[in-house]
Amino acid sequence: MTKRIISGVQPTGNLHLGNYLGAIRRWVDIQKDYQCLFFLADLHAITIAQDPEKLRSSVRETAAAYIACGIDPKKSIIFPQSTIAEHCELAWILSCNTPMGWLNRMTQFKEKAGKDKEKAPLGLYSYPVLMAADILLYKTTHVPVGEDQKQHIELARDIAGAFNREYGVEFFPLPEPVIGAEAARIMSLRDGTKKMSKSDESEYSRINLTDDADAIALKFKKAKSDMEEGMSYAQNRPEAANLLSIYAALKGISKEKALEECQSLNFSAFKGQLTDVAVAHLSPITQKMRELLASPDYIDGILKEGVQKAAEIAEKTMGEVKDLVGFLKL
Ligand code: ADP
Ligand code: TRP
């Protein structure tokens, strides 16, 4: 079977180093060899209240970030999820075949719903079914994501299997998560035990792809450190381990090599070195993003093209699904 790849990020604000190292940077390499679809997960974004104007601009900004990071619109299909109605249509059909017990196990819902689950929106709960639809609609086989999404991809596999069994077909391939070993989970700069996330209220917890050199330097300077000597991956030093991993991932070297280079540095000298590496790596991306955002028509053009290509695949799969389910075609 030929491999087909899909992934997406929620356009809910600035992309950060975790999104970049955990997901997008790896998409760039994969696109050379396989047909890839990279979408802006705006339907997922509204599981949490969004300001409509901000959401609209965030979709363009996130698309610009994809391209600035190296996603090539000539090779890969880039599109906003909400433009392809089949995502929702398929999600409904799949939801009719998904036991609630499976959804009850999802840890992300438990984290995001907070204490009062009765008040959590239904969309936040059924979100993984929409995610399964995103993946299965294009009969994708591999899904490159950060580690936090692994459980959702495993659920998508189960949902694909349930559909195939229900209708007695080998229709959907069972998708596999593709998770990089090196930067699967980048942690917050303020707390090495918490993942770096867009939703963290502290700007100092993350490096954004739009941060300039001064902001990057300041954020690393303020990053939590400890009083131990030298740098290491010791379990009781999650912040040191996280910053070393970031250093390794940005330089494209192994964790062991990063340790060799930096173990004798004290925390503040290491932070200086890390800042230089981060600025050198990220500033061309930031620059490219700025240029792209100055031409919104160019971005919209790319997205329109992406929508056309995605629609072709989506309509075909949906037609086949409707036949299998037994809907009348008029
Ligand atoms: P966030 O959690 O910041 O809102 P998303 O949920 O939109 O980010 O995630 C987009 C992609 O980035 C997913 O593939 C996710 O696994 C990956 N990702 C997000 N945060 C991290 C992180 N801290 N480390 C590694 N990968 C991450
Ligand atoms: N749930 C993913 C996230 O929050 C985004 C996403 C939605 C996705 N649908 C997907 C990723 C399908 C991969 C494939 O990061």
Same structural domain, 233 and 157: no
Same structural domain, 286 and 306: no
CA distance readout (Å), 131 to 20, 39, 214, 311: 20, 12, 37, 17
Provide the residue count of the chain. Answer: 330
**Is residue 184 in a domain?**
no
C-alpha 90 to ligand 2 mean position (Å): 16
Q: What is the DSSP pairing of strand 35-40 with strand 77-80?
A: parallel
| Whether residue 22 has its Cβ less than 6 Å from ligand 1 | yes
Same structural domain, 38 and 159: yes
- pLDDT at residue 1 in the model: 63
Same structural domain, 65 and 145: yes
Q: Which domain holds residue 101?
A: 4-179+296-325
* Active-site residue flag, 271: no
| Whether residue 23 has its Cβ less than 6 Å from ligand 1 | yes
Same structural domain, 144 and 278: no
70-105 pLDDT, tens digit per residue, is 999 999 999 999 999 999 999 999 999 999 999 999
Same structural domain, 111 and 14: yes
**Is residue 196 in a domain?**
no
Same structural domain, 33 and 60: yes
What are the two backbone dihedrals, phi and then psi, of residue 78, each rounded to the nearest 5 degrees?
-115, 130
Same structural domain, 17 and 57: yes
Q: Kindly tell me if the per-residue pLDDT of 115 is higher than 90.
A: no
pTM, two decimals, is 0.94
Q: What CATH number did the domain enclosing 243 receive?
A: 1.10.240.10
* Active-site residue flag, 195: yes
Q: CA angle, 250 as apex, 215 and 17 as ends, to 5°?
A: 50
C-alpha 19 to ligand 1 mean position (Å): 5
- pLDDT at residue 2 in the model: 76
The answer to whether the CB of 94 falls within 8 A of the CB of 129 is yes
Same structural domain, 287 and 302: no
Number of domains observed in the structure of the chain: 2
Ligand 2 atom 7 nearest Cα: 131
Active-site hit among 3, 54, 150, 195:
195
142-160 pLDDT, tens digit per residue, is 999 988 999 999 999 999 9
C-alpha 131 to ligand 2 mean position (Å): 6
Same structural domain, 207 and 63: no
**Could you give the percent of the chain with pLDDT greater than 90?**
91
Same structural domain, 110 and 238: no
**Is residue 194 in a domain?**
no
**Is residue 278 in a domain?**
yes
* Active-site residue flag, 112: yes
Same structural domain, 11 and 67: yes
**Is residue 67 in a domain?**
yes
| Whether residue 151 has its Cβ less than 6 Å from ligand 1 | no
C-alpha 325 to ligand 2 mean position (Å): 26
**Is residue 191 in a domain?**
no
Q: What CATH number did the domain enclosing 114 receive?
A: 3.40.50.620
**Is residue 197 in a domain?**
no
**Is residue 186 in a domain?**
no
